[in-house]
Amino acid sequence: MATQSLLLFSCSFLLIFLSFSFEKSHALEGTKNMESHFHTLQLTSLLPSSSCNPTTKGKRGGASMEVVNSHGPCSKLNQEGAKASSMTEILAHDQARVDSIQARVTTQNYDLFRKKDKISNKNRAKDSKVNLPVQPGISIGTGNYIVTIGIGTPKKDLSLIFDTGSDLTWTQCQPCVKSCYAQLQPFFDPSSSSTYSNISCTSTACSGLKSATGNNPGCSSSNCIYGIQYGDSSFSLGFFAKDKLTLTPTDVFDGFMFGCGQNNRGLFGKTAGLIGLARDPLSIVSQTAAKFEKYFSYCLPTRRGTNGHLTFGNKNGAKSTIQFTPFTLSKGTSFYFIDVLGISVGGKALSISPMLFKNAGTIIDSGTVITRLPSTAYNNLRSTFQQFMTRYPRAPNLSLLDTCYNLSNYTSISIPKISFNFNGNTNVNLDPNGILLTNGVSQVCLAFAGNGDDDSTGIFGNVQQQTLEIVYDVAGEKLGFGYGGCS
């Protein structure tokens, strides 16, 4: 009898133990799964650094150049005492760029050459019908990344904004006519280059300016004149020319066509101009296609004091872990359109129809700071994010950013991961710096914004691209995403 009681007790104890162990293992697994959907990080990892700590990565294939954040400590433009833009100013200019991109998707009929503008010097860009009206174009904004290339013989190094939303590469040139903005480096002097020449008005290249700039070209003494107007009233006007382009000592291109601007104004910081990475025949991507096969990649660094890269070529050296999504129809523009299928927050797939993204269309853009989503999609993302962040006190809105937190009493935080699902079964997890934008520890904001409606074009901005390896296989009509691109 005693033996039976002992046996019954042992069996009961074993069942209780197994039940407890089962519940505990499931609880631990649930906790582990929950942790896998969150970033736990030091708050300082989101804040700008005051010192430059460039990465020391091994040699890349292709033609690779260093990229710096124009607002970060590695930018020489910041080191020269230039007044830093406030976050409010950056976001205001960013909205101007978004407005102009969305306008350009639907209409591209601008013409700068209308009124007379008499300039007598034969060495200056002149046209009998030059005018610079305020019209829709691509706003440069101020959330830009900078790369240095060489133009001319001997080579003149020029630090340019690089922009996947623009086609024409241009730089400020001597002599300056009317107005030029201050830049860190001396202006490019065409007369000092033995390989410089202006392009004729009657050339096929000159007529191609219409698609690259949105403006019909002008003509001055048989020389082709370009004009490009941006949405924030910035502009560049001058000779359409060609000269030697040097990307690296072994990657040199004769006869590179670019704008030699002699009348320039706008929000270009102290850079020397702009390098166009869109897909028009006059973009640098197309002009170097014989060698690089319209293949380039970049990594955009954060403001933490590291650098990134812009690399042309190296198609055969791409990481096997790169995930690709196909480009979609460009809607008559040279923008890079991609298909967003869905978004997940904290491991939870948001209830958003893929048709919402498809109807609006989405482009990836290196010059737009904050990702823009259809209104319905943004509202869903915002409310879900807020549900995961209830432990943290709210802070006032920051311009267009309406979900902000005061984290001044915290040294570490836990935030839900955000991932994008693109066509081609491509899932991209964003870096914490791609989720939150800081304006000091007392104002840390969700780095997304709504378009205000569901019809306007969405934009995958550069904050969300930070630290990712972004690969453009333009000839192959696909875009790639990888991790750790800057490290």
Q: Which residues are marked as active site?
A: 163, 365
- For the sheet containing 448-450, what is the strand order? 336-338, 362-364, 458-460, 371-373, 448-450
What is the Cα–Cα distance from 287 to 33, expressed in whole angstroms? 48
- 326, 424 contact by CB (below 8 A): yes
